[in-house]
Structure 1
């Protein structure tokens, strides 16, 4: 016996499907009918219609609204991560960014028509430069993970330029760092080496000293970590990495927690990205 919830919104769309139900009913065709198979010759068409649920618009809206209500979000409850995808964005910012004049600008528009966009981007670069304490900023990466890969590839290019690419094969990654870091290091061609944290959740300095060496290209650190713990020995960690010629990368997933309080560049960060 199937246990179907009493609330229709809890049921699968296939379970509430009824033959003939539609969200939209189109008027009778008033132009010559076209055979799709003839019009799309050479295309891979289905041999039979897709098995899709037949439901009304109200049932459809309630179904997805019910699923959305199950999500835990910053709009409903406290979210302890400092930033990442779930950070709080003021609604006025979201509204402004959603304006069609901003979101629908074509990449090939002449420069004379996108001066406002260029001004926004220029100002944002300067703001991020000030927040990070680093020398240069790029807005080219499309998202957090893309920015992360871009940063690690910059480290790789740095060692290629120095003629040390064959030697620098490892990236050190604390176990409490952002979960995407090992994948990013691997995609950039490095071996990800895990660092276990100390009992208090911070970087184990002695463990770091054991694993760092001439083979180290860099270390990816998240501060605060995904445990929500601030790392108090950032300068010492930077000195250890720089002592062997390696770079210190910071994942900005939780940057909101320290933004405006401290500049990562001041405690030795060489490269970072903002989520």
Structure 2
């Protein structure tokens, strides 16, 4: 693949500034409204008042052209492949952004009366049914606001599962090839992380796993295919080992795209899963990745 990057000798936007230029002119205030606003501002102590902002003065067209030229110098998913392992950027249909920007979705308030959000509740219910069919899980929660938040919730569920049985299990097993947030989420949930090494093929070393599993193990966190892009072919044996001590298997959905429609995590034996909206679905990357 060849990529020819556009290059411009583009100045800083402040260097393009021209005194008196503007892109938008606010309508003049009625005298009475202007006086009332001035009276309100005068009530604000001097030290708390906002100072004039040092903003460049340009027309709207100049601003649009400036940032368009800058954007053309960037490499993006609209210009070429963007490989980042489990975070490989994919093309998100523009239509999906239009749907997500609809006022019927965007302007819903979490404290609205239930009778006014029945359409949104139906969307959530229908989505849950689809996700259950895709993954083989029994229920879904849409409360976590990021991928790592979903991991943390999953770890808390594992912790409470064992506590409900009168056990205080302290160990979470995580492969050395795991996604970096896995050990952080497990630690935040109060677990001690025990690392299982990969074998020569890049998969979990099942023999080593068998040696480290005991009655203090709460569960294991896995990505499948793993971070190396290799399918954990011994997943059935791993499930047998962990379930053998009544531990739970957590599925990190970072690489779920590789399996969608072919095999379901629930059918592999996983008990808990999180999906990433910025990986499996159409949410743009950024902000830590919505879950």
Q: TM-score range by the shorter chain?
A: 0.7 to 0.9
Select between 232-241 and 194-203 the one with higher mean Cα deviation: 194-203
Partner SS, residue 110 of structure 2: coil
Tell me, in whole angstroms, the C-alpha distance in 1 between the residues paired with 2:227 and 2:74. 20
Shift of 1:272: 0.5
Q: Which residue of 1 aligns with 2:224?
A: 223
Equivalent position of 1:38 in the other structure: 42
**Corresponding residue number in structure 1 for 2:236:** 235
Structure 1: unaligned runs, 5 residues or longer: none
Report deviation, 1:107: 2.1
> Which residue pairs with 1:254 in the alignment?
255
How do 1:15-34 residues align onto structure 2 when only pairs under 5 Å count? 15-17=15-17, 20-26=20-26, 31=31, 32=34, 34=38
Q: Describe the shift of the 1:224–1:79 C-alpha distance in structure 2 as closer, same or farther (beyond 3 A).
A: farther
For 2:105, the equivalent position in structure 1 comes to 102
- Call closer, same or farther: CA 1:29–1:120 in 2, change over 3 Å: closer
Please tell me the root mean square deviation across aligned C-alpha atoms, in Å: 3.0
User: Which whole-Å deviations, capped at 9, do the CAs of 1:13-52 have from their partners, x for residues lacking one?
Assistant: 4454455554434466653462776343498446x54544
Alignment check: 8 A CA contact 2:86 2:227 kept: no
TM-superposition CA deviations, 1:143-198 (whole Å, max 9, x none): 32222221111111112212222xx2222222322222122122222233333322
TM-score, length-scaled by structure 1: 0.81
Whole-Å separation in 2 of the counterparts to 1:140 and 1:110: 18
1:142 correspondence with 2:145: yes
Secondary structure of 1:178's match?
A: coil
Look up the match of 2:156. 153
Following superposition, the deviation at residue 122 of structure 1 comes to: 0.8
Equivalents in 2 of 1:54, 1:111: separation in Å?
Answer: 47
Match of 1:122 among 117, 122, 125: 125
Match of 2:115 among 94, 99, 112: 112
66-75 vs 138-147, greater mean Cα deviation: 66-75
Structure 1 residue matching 2:164: 3-state secondary structure:
helix
- Is contact 1:82–1:257 with CA below 8 Å preserved after alignment? no
Q: Give ranges in structure 2 of 5+ residues lacking alignment.
A: 1-6, 277-291
> Is the 1:81–1:254 Cα contact (8 Å) retained in structure 2?
no
SS of the residue corresponding to residue 162 of structure 1 reads coil
Cα 1:43–1:163 shift into 2, 3 Å = farther
Report which stretch shifted further, 64-73 or 100-109.
64-73
- Give the structure-2-normalised TM-score: 0.77
| 1:72 positional shift | 4.4
Structure 1 segments (4+ residues) deviating >6 Å: none
How many Å separate the matches in 1 of 2:187 and 2:72?
36
